[in-house]
């Protein structure tokens, strides 16, 4: 059987990693929470938790009920998704490789002894203590760099700039309550247009662009929580393809794995 990778998290960055590793010949199982809050749902395998199956750039992921069913899906050529917030599948299946791609900005329980190769994404991990390698996730000169000693750059809380816009392109919940989107991913929106509601409170776009991501309907949100993303470049195709950031990070993960396999 192909070498097994368990990826913790199945958001858009984790999915970019999963897609790259799958294409490189690895068997991939991903873990998620019962109600994922992925924003870029058209390119996030986490959407399989709601839909049962999802395809991103020709690669299909299917929801599995347990570790054995997940393994069976990988044998049939799919990525498997497990609702497994504590990633218990790692202990059950003993994969060769574990990747923490939760993007929580802190370590939620990943240990270097969980697998022969353990890789973590972004801040909150120290290479050589929590994982064998850490991959930089901050946009800029070092994006995708493999870190063998130390840690990734700290989280600033400021979204990366796209076409001159940073915080303005992010949609944030205007109140606490239940989220409902009024626009679908890929549609053009204009500044001031209502794109969603939280309870009865409208959420307005702050810039013109294309709605690149929006939260799943029915989720409880809190005021200020990120619930959507507008791409000011206006390219609809970008909404349905893996981002440059995810591809760069995925390249770093693959580099680290191949390096450690050849040691």
Fold topology of 4-155+244-261 = Rossmann fold (3.40.50)
- The 10s digit of each residue's pLDDT in 85-124 is 999 999 999 999 999 999 999 999 999 999 999 999 999 9
pTM of the predicted model as reported, rounded to 2 decimal places: 0.95
CA 28 to chain centre: 14
In this predicted structure, the answer to whether residue 69 has a pLDDT above a threshold of 90 is yes
CB 172 within 8 A of CB 224: yes
Mean pLDDT across the stretch 187-196?
97
User: Is a pLDDT exceeding 80 seen at residue 13?
Assistant: yes
- DSSP class of 143: T
Q: Write out the residue limits of the CATH 3.40.50 domain(s) in the chain.
A: 4-155+244-261
Region(s) of the chain under CATH 2.40.50.100: 167-231
Are the CB atoms for 196 and 154 separated by under 8 Å? no
CATH annotation of 167-231: 2.40.50.100
Taking 90 as the threshold, does the pLDDT of residue 1 lie above it? no
pLDDT at 163: 76
Q: Is the pLDDT of residue 138 over 90?
A: yes
């Amino acid at each position: 059987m192909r070498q097994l990778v368990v990826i913790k998290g199945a958001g858009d960055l984790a999915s970019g990693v999963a897609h790259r590793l799958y294409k490189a010949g690895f068997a991939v199982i991903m873990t998620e929470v019962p109600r994922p809050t992925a924003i870029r749902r058209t390119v996030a395998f986490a959407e399989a938790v709601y839909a049962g199956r999802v395809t991103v750039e020709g690669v299909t992921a299917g929801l599995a009920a347990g570790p054995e069913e997940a393994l069976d899906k990988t044998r049939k050529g799919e990525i498997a998704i497990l609702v497994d917030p504590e990633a218990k599948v790692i202990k059950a299946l003993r994969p060769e490789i574990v990747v923490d791609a939760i993007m929580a900005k802190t370590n939620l329980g990943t240990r270097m002894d969980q697998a022969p190769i353990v890789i973590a994404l972004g801040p909150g991990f120290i290479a050589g203590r929590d994982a064998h390698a850490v991959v930089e996730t901050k946009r800029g000169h070092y994006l995708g760099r493999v870190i063998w000693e130390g840690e990734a750059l700290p989280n600033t809380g400021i979204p990366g700039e796209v076409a001159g816009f940073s915080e303005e392109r992010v949609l944030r919940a205007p109140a606490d309550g239940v989220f409902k989107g009024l626009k679908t991913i890929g549609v053009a929106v204009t500044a001031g247009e209502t794109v969603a509601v939280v309870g009865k409170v409208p959420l307005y776009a702050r810039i013109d662009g294309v709605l690149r991501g929006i939260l799943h309907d029915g989720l409880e949100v809190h005021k200020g929580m990120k619930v959507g993303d507008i791409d000011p470049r206006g390219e609809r195709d970008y909404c349905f393809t893996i981002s440059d950031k995810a591809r760069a990070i995925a390249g770093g993960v693959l580099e680290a794995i191949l390096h450690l396999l050849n040691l």
